[in-house]
């Protein structure tokens, strides 16, 4: 019962609105009851018109009841009363189905919104270590396409429930009119359904292939967009186009195959059931002409039932085809299989003494070697600590551990004698500001970008922060000043301009702990000098951790830690390190030599 499993997975969503499903079922049952009644009323109409049919020659309890009711009404009146009643039933039926349609649409729109929102929430809360193992394009596909397809599955499920209700009501009415005939038809219909199932078994597999192909296409699209400049600069347009076309063609083929197979269901069904109806008409019509009005009504009802039964199979196959999307979304939403950083409870009110790293190690899931290997380091409050070292030494990783984007695999980080894990995560991050290596500029105005982590900032505060970051001059020259839209949809900023915005964004938070990861490396030397002076002033009495390749930036650091291959190889003040004549002194000399004419 694969589709039952798919249904079960949708259950938590359906439970959000517990009254909705019973309401939809009730409306479905009521509307089909009224439709069935309107059709049954055709029997007395036909009999009245034919005038020769013996009314009592039926053993159907439904019809007998109906005839008893009509017995007291003169024949003349029957001819306008009955059609009026039929019309009334049809009116009520359609009113109810309209309400049902609106209710279902409302429900599935609400639920698909919740689903998207939950996926996004998961994206924001799940541990970094999980996200790092996922392809960005695939995540985009989950967020954009698969949530949508899952809500489609939900609408399909609702339709399925409604249709099943209708079918049950019709089947009951048919039983009331003639149970032997209904049983016979039931058996034949069951056989037809079995034949159809042979076809639908393939649909599930094809559905999985289509989801996989779509996910791959998502990855290609994402790479094409993000890597556009590199692709063009290296003249790889043809190669990328070929790769894209190949993946796109796989989607094309997978979807086409899916449609070809699913497309056979309806014609097959219609042919087989037409055969069934015609055989009954011929068989019964030949033997028992007296009950012709009953038979005609029966067949008419059966005829109305056909599309419903057909739809049940259609909905079932759609659900099967969509079940891979449901899997994809719910696998992503599943919290048990993923790591989370648990926030502590101790409120962090400000750093008083130091951050101490005690034999801290960390390894990325994708790497064999630890990125941080048994590091011990004290970062004193109110002082500036510089981290230097070759590329890939683990400097950014160390900072990410201090920001608690990850937890160390071994060892402990202490904050004023408290384990970092025990601190309330929000209160910890609230007191810090980071300018990281990869700056993100949001699709918003300059002012909104600067005030990103400090939504209460006034315009005056924003301008003050921009001035400190030496960004005010270039912002004033923009067409709309601080209200200029930037990011993908607005003006693109240069690398140096982005860094200045990021610095202003950090400054405006008035942090206790300021972290600068190559925060000025994109600036020209004059700007860097000016900003360095401003940062020295700003960093006074704050705890500053600075990573820089240019040694001019770290001259005033209170201590310098030299990292190499995840370990601290040297540590001390600038003078001491130079005297030690180790890795640092070597790097320092090389840089100075390069600067000399």
Ligand X SMILES: Nc1ncnc2c1ncn2[C@@H]1O[C@H](COP(=O)(O)OP(=O)(O)OP(=O)(O)O)[C@@H](O)[C@H]1O
Binding site for Mg ion (CB under 5 A): 396
E strand intervals along 331-457 = 354-362, 372-380, 384-388, 410-415, 418-419, 432-435, 444-445
Residue number of the CB closest to Mg ion reads 396
Binding partner at 366 among Mg ion, ligand X, none, C-beta below 5 to 8 Å by kind: ligand X
Binding partner at 391 among ligand X, Mg ion, none, C-beta below 5 to 8 Å by kind: ligand X
Q: Which is nearer to ligand X, 261 or 562 (CB)?
A: 562
Token pair belonging to 98 = 């309209």
Distances (CA, A) of 22 to 13, 15, 27, 35: 15, 11, 8, 20
Q: Which is nearer to ligand X, 84 or 366 (CB)?
A: 366
Q: Which is nearer to ligand X, 233 or 366 (CB)?
A: 366
Nearest distance, CB of residue 362 and ligand X, angstroms: 9
The overall longest dimension of the chain from CA atoms, in Å, is 122
Q: Which is nearer to ligand X, 305 or 393 (CB)?
A: 393
Nearest distance, CB of residue 594 and ligand X, angstroms: 17
Using the CB atoms, write b or e for 177-192: b if 16+ within 10 Å: bbeebbeebeebbeeb
Nearest distance, CB of residue 563 and Mg ion, angstroms: 10
Q: Which is nearer to ligand X, 395 or 505 (CB)?
A: 395
Q: Which is nearer to ligand X, 129 or 236 (CB)?
A: 129
Nearest distance, CB of residue 582 and ligand X, angstroms: 18
Binding partner at 36 among Mg ion, ligand X, none, C-beta below 5 to 8 Å by kind: none
Token pair belonging to 448 = 């909104």
Query: Which residues contact ligand X by CB under 6 A?
Result: 132, 364, 366-367, 371, 389, 391-397, 437
Q: Which is nearer to Mg ion, 293 or 389 (CB)?
A: 389
Q: How far apart are CA 22 and CA 105, in angstroms?
A: 15
Binding partner at 460 among ligand X, Mg ion, none, C-beta below 5 to 8 Å by kind: none
Binding partner at 393 among ligand X, Mg ion, none, C-beta below 5 to 8 Å by kind: ligand X
Q: Which is nearer to ligand X, 14 or 522 (CB)?
A: 522
DSSP 8-class letter at 257? H
Helix (H, G, I), strand (E, B) or coil at 564: strand
Return all residues near 82 (Cβ < 8 A) that are at least 6 apart. 41, 44, 45, 48, 70
**Which residue is it, tokens 């796109």?**
248
Binding partner at 392 among ligand X, Mg ion, none, C-beta below 5 to 8 Å by kind: ligand X
Token pair belonging to 145 = 């396409």
Across the strands, what pairs with 445?
485
Nearest CA to 103 among 115, 95, 113? Answer: 95
State how beta strands 384-388 and 543-547 pair.
Answer: parallel
Q: Which is nearer to Mg ion, 450 or 545 (CB)?
A: 545
Nearest distance, CB of residue 341 and Mg ion, angstroms: 21
Binding partner at 132 among Mg ion, ligand X, none, C-beta below 5 to 8 Å by kind: ligand X
Binding partner at 363 among Mg ion, ligand X, none, C-beta below 5 to 8 Å by kind: none
Token pair belonging to 345 = 């409870």
Nearest distance, CB of residue 592 and ligand X, angstroms: 19
Nearest distance, CB of residue 399 and ligand X, angstroms: 8
Across the strands, what pairs with 515?
434, 545
Nearest distance, CB of residue 97 and ligand X, angstroms: 54
Q: Are 339 and 407 in contact (CB under 8 A)?
A: no
Q: Which is nearer to ligand X, 107 or 393 (CB)?
A: 393
Nearest distance, CB of residue 410 and ligand X, angstroms: 16
Q: Which is nearer to Mg ion, 266 or 396 (CB)?
A: 396
Helix (H, G, I), strand (E, B) or coil at 201: helix
Distances (CA, A) of 327 to 13, 145, 212, 228, 476: 14, 13, 12, 32, 51
State how beta strands 485-486 and 543-547 pair.
Answer: unpaired
Q: How many of the other CB atoms lie within 10 Å of CB of 76? A: 9
Q: How far apart are CA 151 and CA 111, in angstroms?
A: 7
Q: How many of the other CB atoms lie within 10 Å of CB of 214? A: 22
Across the strands, what pairs with 430?
none
Q: How far apart are CA 283 and CA 184, in angstroms?
A: 13
Q: How far apart are CA 61 and CA 59, in angstroms?
A: 6
Q: Which is nearer to Mg ion, 378 or 521 (CB)?
A: 521
Q: How far apart are CA 400 and CA 420, in angstroms?
A: 13
Nearest distance, CB of residue 434 and Mg ion, angstroms: 12
Nearest distance, CB of residue 437 and Mg ion, angstroms: 5
Nearest distance, CB of residue 502 and ligand X, angstroms: 16
Binding partner at 371 among ligand X, Mg ion, none, C-beta below 5 to 8 Å by kind: ligand X
């Amino acid at each position: 019962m694969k589709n039952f499993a798919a249904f079960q997975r949708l259950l938590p969503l359906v439970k959000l609105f517990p009254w909705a499903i019973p309401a939809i079922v009730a409306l479905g049952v009521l509307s089909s009851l009224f439709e069935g009644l309107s059709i049954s009323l055709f029997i007395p109409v036909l009999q009245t018109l034919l005038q020769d049919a013996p009314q009592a020659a039926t053993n159907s309890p439904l019809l007998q009841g109906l005839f008893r009711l009509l017995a007291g009404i003169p024949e003349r009146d029957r001819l306008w009363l009955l059609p009026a009643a039929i019309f009334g039933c049809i009116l009520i039926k359609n009113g109810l189905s309209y309400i049902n349609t609106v209710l279902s649409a409302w429900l599935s729109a609400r639920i698909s919104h919740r689903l998207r929102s939950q996926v996004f929430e998961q994206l924001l809360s799940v541990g970094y270590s999980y996200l790092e193992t996922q392809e960005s394009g695939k995540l985009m596909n989950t967020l954009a396409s698969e949530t949508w397809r899952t809500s489609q599955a939900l609408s399909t499920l609702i339709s399925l429930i409604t249709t099943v209700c209708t079918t049950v009501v019709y089947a009951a009415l048919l039983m009331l009119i003639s149970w032997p005939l209904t049983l016979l038809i039931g058996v034949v219909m069951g056989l037809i359904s079995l034949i159809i199932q042979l076809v639908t078994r393939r649909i599930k597999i094809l559905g999985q292939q289509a989801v996989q192909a779509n996910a791959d296409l998502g990855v290609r699209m994402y790479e094409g967009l993000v890597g556009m400049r590199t692709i063009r600069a290296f003249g790889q347009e043809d190669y990328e186009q070929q790769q894209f076309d190949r993946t796109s063609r796989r989607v094309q083929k997978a979807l086409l195959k899916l449609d070809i197979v699913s497309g056979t269901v309806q014609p097959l069904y219609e042919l087989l059931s037409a055969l069934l109806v015609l055989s009954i008409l011929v068989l019964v019509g030949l033997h028992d002409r007296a009950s012709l009005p009953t038979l005609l009504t029966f067949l008419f009802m059966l005829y109305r039932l056909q599309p419903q039964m057909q739809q049940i199979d259609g909905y079932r196959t759609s659900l099967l085809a969509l079940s891979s999307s449901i899997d994809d979304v719910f696998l992503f939403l599943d919290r048990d299989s993923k790591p989370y950083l648990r926030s502590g409870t101790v409120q962090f009110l400000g750093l008083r003494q130091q951050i101490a790293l005690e034999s801290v190690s960390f390894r990325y899931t994708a790497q064999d070697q630890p990125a941080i290997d048994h590091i011990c380091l004290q970062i004193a409050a109110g002082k500036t600590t510089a981290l230097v070292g070759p590329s890939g030494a683990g400097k950014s990783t160390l900072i990410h551990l201090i920001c608690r984007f990850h937890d160390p695999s071994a060892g402990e980080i202490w904050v004023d004698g408290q384990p970092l894990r025990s601190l309330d995560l929000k209160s910890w991050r609230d007191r810090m500001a980071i300018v990281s290596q990869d700056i993100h500029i949001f699709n918003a105005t300059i002012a909104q970008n600067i005030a990103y982590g400090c939504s209460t900032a006034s315009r005056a505060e924003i301008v003050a922060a921009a001035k400190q970051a030496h960004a005010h001059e270039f912002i004033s020259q923009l067409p709309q000043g601080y209200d200029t839209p930037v990011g993908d949809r607005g003006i693109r900023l240069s690398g140096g301009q982005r860094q200045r915005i990021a610095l202003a964004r950090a400054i405006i938070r008035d942090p206790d702990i300021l972290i600068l990861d190559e925060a000025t490396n994109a600036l020209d030397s004059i700007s860097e000098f000016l900003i360095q002076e401003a940062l020295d002033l700003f960093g006074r009495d704050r705890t500053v951790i600075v990573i820089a390749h240019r040694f001019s930036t770290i001259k005033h650091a209170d201590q310098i830690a030299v990292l190499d291959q995840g370990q601290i190889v040297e540590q001390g003040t600038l003078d001491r390190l130079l005297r030690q004549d180790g890795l640092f002194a070597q790097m320092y000399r090389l840089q100075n030599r390069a600067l000399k004419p």
